[in-house]
Amino acid sequence: MAKKANQKKKLLLLMRYFQEETDREHPTTIIKLIDMLEQEEISAERKSLYDDIAILREWGMPIENRGGQYYLRENTFTLPELKLLTDAVASSRFISESRSRVLIRKIAGLTNRFARMQLQRQVYLTGRSKTTNEAALLNVDPLHQAIHCGKKVSFRYFSYVYSPDSHGRWKKEYHHGGRFAVVSPYALVWDDENYYLVGYYERRETVSHFRVDKMEDIHILSDWVRPAPAHFIVGDYVRHTFGMFGGNQTQVTLEAENELMNVFYDRFGKELTPHRVDDTHFRVVVPLQLSPTFYGWVFQFGGRVQIISPKQAVDEMTHMARRFYPSNET
């Protein structure tokens, strides 16, 4: 019985050793494997190790033999893939700095120690603005469960306001006096480096969105969700809501220089249908929500994008431009 237990332990130790201590640049030998097992008080012979390696290969471990030098050909994730994941965590404003460090350590644990050392040397928490709400990441779980089960959720929603009376600090200000919002959740979406819940908001009787890191006291209710409106598509909602800043949705005609065609494609997607105006300009009609964020997006192109219609959008854009660049006339 003890011999069988030792055999199982030996296979697990060999598996862990190959995963954590070997790669193409850092192979091992049978002698090193015997020494490692002896440190764990397990005796092994060459022939038994050859058999063990064959078993691990049968289990799907890609162990290579290069002239008596053994190594694991690949891990579940490559180093560039892990670097991409750690960079995403490090740069995310949605994840607090302390939780970012914990997640990065967990991601680094998915590879061998040599790649792990490279990974940890190359990851930087840049000091950029990150949420101070430590519970933000935990909010995702009940929201995901509610979406999966088709149940409504309730939560308190807040914003940060600066309070000189509170020793010059930012403090939470709860919406609607701290009363709970009830929402039929449709999807969690990532936009502009933040996580949002998109769903039907009963207080406003319309589809709305909420920053996940500004939610507290989330409860999954027993009530079934209200079905999404006909023809509602989450991707379209996100694409037409600039910076997730709410506003009235309408058909907007834009005219832009041809060099900006790719910018429009990235913003509005392949459903966009440009129409030629002349040799240097095109026009598009896009459904979107009028908001300061949208006007700011147009403004950044320095006149290379013009709002043609509706009149409301033209007038609001003109008003905003005058606020930034008031006339010098007296």
Complete DSSP assignment for 95-112: S-HHHHHHHHHHHHTTS-
> Higher-confidence residue: 285 or 245?
285
Find the mean pLDDT for residues 282-309.
87
Residue 120, pLDDT score: 64
Both tokens of 122, joined, read 């190359």
129 is a domain residue: no
Do residue 15 and residue 90 come from a single domain?
no
Same domain, yes or no: 13 and 92: no
Q: Which residue has the tokens 């449709």?
A: 186
Of the candidates 132, 187, 135, 179, the residue with the CA atom closest to the CA atom of residue 156? 179
Task: State the pLDDT at residue 243.
Answer: 57
200-209 pLDDT, tens digit each: 999 988 888 9
Is residue 234 in a domain? Answer: no
pLDDT of residue 72: 87
**229 — pLDDT class (breaks 50, 70, 90):** confident
Query: Cα 65 vs. chain centroid, distance in angstroms?
Result: 39
Domain final residue pick, 122, 154, 185: 122
Domain closes at, from 229, 253, 283:
229
Supply angle C-alpha 223, 228, 229, rounded to 5.
135
Q: Is residue 11 part of a domain?
A: yes
- Cα dihedral 84, 87, 91, 94 sign: positive
Residues 224 and 148 in one domain: yes
**Residue 127 placed within a domain:** no
Inside any domain, residue 236: no
- Report residue 269: phi and psi, to 5°: 90, 180
- Check if the beta carbon of residue 104 is closer than 8 Å to that of residue 83: no
- CATH code, 300: 3.30.70
List, for residues 86-98, the tens digit of each pLDDT value: 877 877 777 777 8
Residues 252 and 308: their CA atoms lie apart, in Å, by 8
24 in the same domain as 94: no
In a domain, 253, yes or no: yes
Report whether pLDDT(123) > 80.
no
pLDDT (tens digit per residue) in 128-145: 556 666 677 788 889 999
Check if the beta carbon of residue 151 is closer than 8 Å to that of residue 225: yes
Which of these ranges, 21-25, 62-66, 98-102, 190-194, has the smallest mean pLDDT? 190-194
H-run or E-run covering 71: strand 69-72
199 and 160 in a single domain? The answer is: yes
Q: Residues 264, 194: one domain? A: no
In a domain, 330, yes or no: no
Sequence length of the chain is: 330
pTM over 0.85: no
Shared-domain flag, residues 224 and 245 = no
Q: Is residue 290 part of a domain?
A: yes
Cα 328 to Cα 261: distance, rounded to the nearest angstrom: 35
Distance CA 66, CA 301 (A): 58
Q: What is the pLDDT of residues 147-186, one digit of tens each?
A: 999 999 999 998 877 665 656 566 788 999 999 999 999 9
Both structure tokens of 230: 């006909």
Query: Residue 141's domain is classified under what CATH number?
Result: 2.30.30
Q: Are 152 and 116 in the same domain?
A: no
Domain count, the chain: 4
Residue range of the domain that includes 61: 2-72
Rounded percentage of the chain residues whose pLDDT exceeds 90? 27
Output the average pLDDT for the chain: 82
